[in-house]
Amino acid sequence: MAFSDLEITVIGGGIGGLAAAIALRQRGANVVVLEQAEAIREVGAGLQISPNGLRVLAALGLDTRLAEVSCRGQAVSLRDGARGAEVARVDLAGAEPGYYFVHRADLIDLLGAAAREAGVKLRLLQKVAEVTPGAPPAISLANGDRCGGDLVVGADGLHSVLRPALNGPAEPFFTGQVAWRAVVPNVTDHPAEARVHMGPGRHVVTYPLRDGSVVNMVAVEERKGWVAEGWSHRDEAANLRAAFSGMSPELRRLMEGAEAPGLWGLFRHPVARRWHGEGVAILGDAAHPTLPFLAQGANLALEDAFVLAASLDGAPDVAAGLQRYQARRRDRAAKVIAAANGNAWKYHLRNPLIRGAAHMVLGLASRAAPGQMVKQFDWLYGYDATRGAA
């Protein structure tokens, strides 16, 4: 199969879609990205690029550009939310090739520019209504137009149009947790580390972005009521501050800078059973939405993007390449997502005796064997999607 003869359409101009477009184009395919917005941009907040994701960006030639627009993380600090004292510390200084905190908009700008430089065609204001697998696959747009190619890649996120065509209707369930997100001024001299502020039935993650002048904040609370799933809901900042009024003065001071924070309900989705069909494939959140408790959503999408391109490269045909892609990715994604699903309760211990004992054990382990704290993530951060995938 000659890569230069492949006509590939990617649905979605987010992190996974743009990374896949770049990886496919660098191998010679003719790639078009369909994005429903009027511009390739991401207004979201921050994200963490761990070593496994950074290896993909390095393979795409973009690691230096990432370093220029982000903060290099030095540690993850687990903290008692009410007292503000550090409970345990995971040192990231030696995590190679690096661990970065980056604003989503900056990463999207970087990927969009790289895609254009590589010769990817970006078509804006293209809302996809339906995708029909086949030889060739067909895309129906909301404006009545149709297009396709030899392969259609659904990188269209949580509410993917393509995923149901492969797996039927989605059946997510509410986890009993909601999350606020905001970018606030760094009025506390927040260092270059991710801080997890743990409290009964809630926790807050904070880390600096860009030149350190702002801090990304994700605040999670357990509740029975819920809001609709999605990223575009807004809430009153007073509700955020009230929910975390029992947290440390430092954290409350940061929250004073929040204005109209985003609010969304956290839903758990099963990993898609089928990641590909005739002439079609899905990646990133379209295949495996993840809860934000391991900071791996963007990293998994980057891994998928690279492995998809590498699996197709050298395959006898598209079908064989897609089979190879799912075989290499599904178990990995399922393992990461299971770990994320199991993380929140560790931060939300309600019984003060149990919480105190757990924090004491964490602290002792952190002080007695600091190297072991980061080694427990070797399976995650040590993974290299760029090796053995071609």
Contacts of 266 (CB under 8 A, 6+ apart): 174, 175, 177, 178, 179, 220, 291, 292
Cα–Cα separations (whole angstroms), residue 196 to 49, 129, 242: 17, 40, 19
Residue 263 phi, psi (nearest 5): -140, 130
Helix (H) or strand (E) holding 317: none
9 within 8 A of 148, measured Cβ to Cβ: yes
Contacts of 381 (CB under 8 A, 6+ apart): 50, 51, 52, 95, 99, 374
221 within 8 A of 243, measured Cβ to Cβ: yes
Closest CA to 266 of 291, 287, 231: 291
Reduced to 3 states (helix: H, G, I; strand: E, B; else coil), residue 67 is helix
d(CA 230, CA 263): 8
Give me the catalytic one of 207, 325, 381, 383.
207
325 has catalytic annotation: no
d(CA 267, CA 98): 30
**Neighbour tally for 231: CB within 10 Å:** 13
Matching residue, tokens 């990617």: 10
Reduced to 3 states (helix: H, G, I; strand: E, B; else coil), residue 24 is helix
Distance in angstroms between the alpha carbons of the first and the last residue of the chain = 14
371-390 in b/e form (b: 16+ CB < 10 A) is: eebbeebeebbebebbeebe
**Neighbour tally for 131: CB within 10 Å:** 27
d(CA 94, CA 131): 45
Matching residue, tokens 């995708």: 131
Alpha helices by DSSP H, 180-317: 237-243, 249-255, 297-312
231 within 8 A of 262, measured Cβ to Cβ: yes
> Catalytic residue numbers?
207
